[in-house]
Amino acid sequence: MSADRPGGIEARMFSFWYGEKQALFDVSLAIRPRSITALIGPSGCGKSTFLRSINRLNELIPGTRASGVLALDGMDVYGRGVDVVALRQRAGMVFQRWNPFPKSIYDNVAFGPRINGERDPRVLDEIVERSLQRAALWEEVRDRLHHSALALSGGQQQRLCIARGLANDPEVLLLDEPASALDPIATQKIEELLFELKGELTVVIVTHNLQQAARVSDDTAFFYLGRLIEFDTTDRLFTSPREERTEAYVTGRFG
């Protein structure tokens, strides 16, 4: 993985457990830097578990453990001595349900940089403006930065959460069903935003919406019962899948 194109993710025989329950079995795949990869499959198939393993958010649940290798730019994220806070700055997360802090729009975006020690108001101003621009929200909120983020529409709040994630300048953006609770217009804005962002960072998105996966992603991974069944370019996986289970899922015969 090239050092000048950070954001490559590679899993090698990666498995994950919640207590005694194994959720992932020997997953191996390589996610290309500066691309959009969709994780698809029925509910409970392991795709969100895999997504949250990339920045170790699953560890917030007691009793979890992992085996195998899951690497970001060649660094095993489960290796000894890994700084988990720094890892989560490199791999930001956006959740299914938008979750802005009960603060101003400005303070939501500036939160991460402040936690990381940035105190210069001019630098913070630049970070907030740049992050909101990257999230395609600046023009809509520039005149009300110090108003409550909770007054924004659902679609705006979700883009604000993306801006908040971008403020730490991550290499990877992880999105767990980011548009499932949004109307079609807000969903389209999120999808257009992802297209723009993939020139700057690696995007991994969990989605139940197969049409969305086909529209936005370069590559697609199909998970079933905790196993990676097939991983290929999106065009190939949707039009000529190698595995019968993949074909049955993408054609709507189950799931």
Taking only the tens place, the pLDDT of each residue in 3-35 is 455 899 999 999 999 999 999 999 999 999 999
Asked whether residue 77 is domain-assigned, the answer is yes
- Domain coverage including residue 75: 9-97+163-250
Contact assessment for residue 226 and residue 23, using Cβ atoms and an 8 Å cutoff: yes
At 168, which CATH number?
Answer: 3.40.50.300
Residue 133 lies in a domain: no
Tell me the pLDDT tens digit for each residue of 49-65: 999 999 999 998 999 99
| 68 contact partners, CB below 8 Å, separation of at least 6 | 11, 12, 13, 14, 15, 26, 27
Cβ contacts of residue 174 below 8 Å, gap of 6+? 51, 52, 54, 55, 91, 92, 93, 94, 204, 205
Tell me, yes or no, whether 136 lies in a domain: no
Q: Which of 145, 158, 156 has the alpha carbon at shortest distance from 103?
A: 145
- How far apart are the C-alpha atoms of 91 and 155, rounded to whole Å? 22
On whether the CB atoms of residues 153 and 161 are closer than 8 A, the answer is no
Does some domain include residue 200?
Answer: yes
**134 within a domain of the structure (yes/no):** no
Q: How far apart are CA 110 and CA 118, in angstroms?
A: 9
Q: Confirm whether 121 is domain-assigned.
A: no
> Can you tell me the distance from the alpha carbon of 204 to that of 145, in angstroms, rounded to the nearest whole number?
29
pLDDT of residue 1: 36
Nearest-angstrom CA–CA distance, 2 and 21: 36
3 within domain boundaries? no
Q: What's the predicted TM-score (pTM) here?
A: 0.92
Structural domain contains residue 205: yes
Reading the chain (255 residues) residue by residue, the pLDDT tens digits are 334 558 999 999 999 999 999 999 999 999 999 999 999 999 999 999 999 999 999 998 999 999 999 999 999 999 999 999 999 989 999 888 788 999 999 999 999 999 889 999 999 999 999 999 999 899 999 999 999 999 999 999 999 999 999 999 999 999 999 888 788 888 898 899 999 898 899 999 999 999 999 999 999 999 999 999 999 999 999 999 999 999 999 998 876
Q: What is the pLDDT of residue 167?
A: 94
Q: What is the domain count for the chain?
A: 1
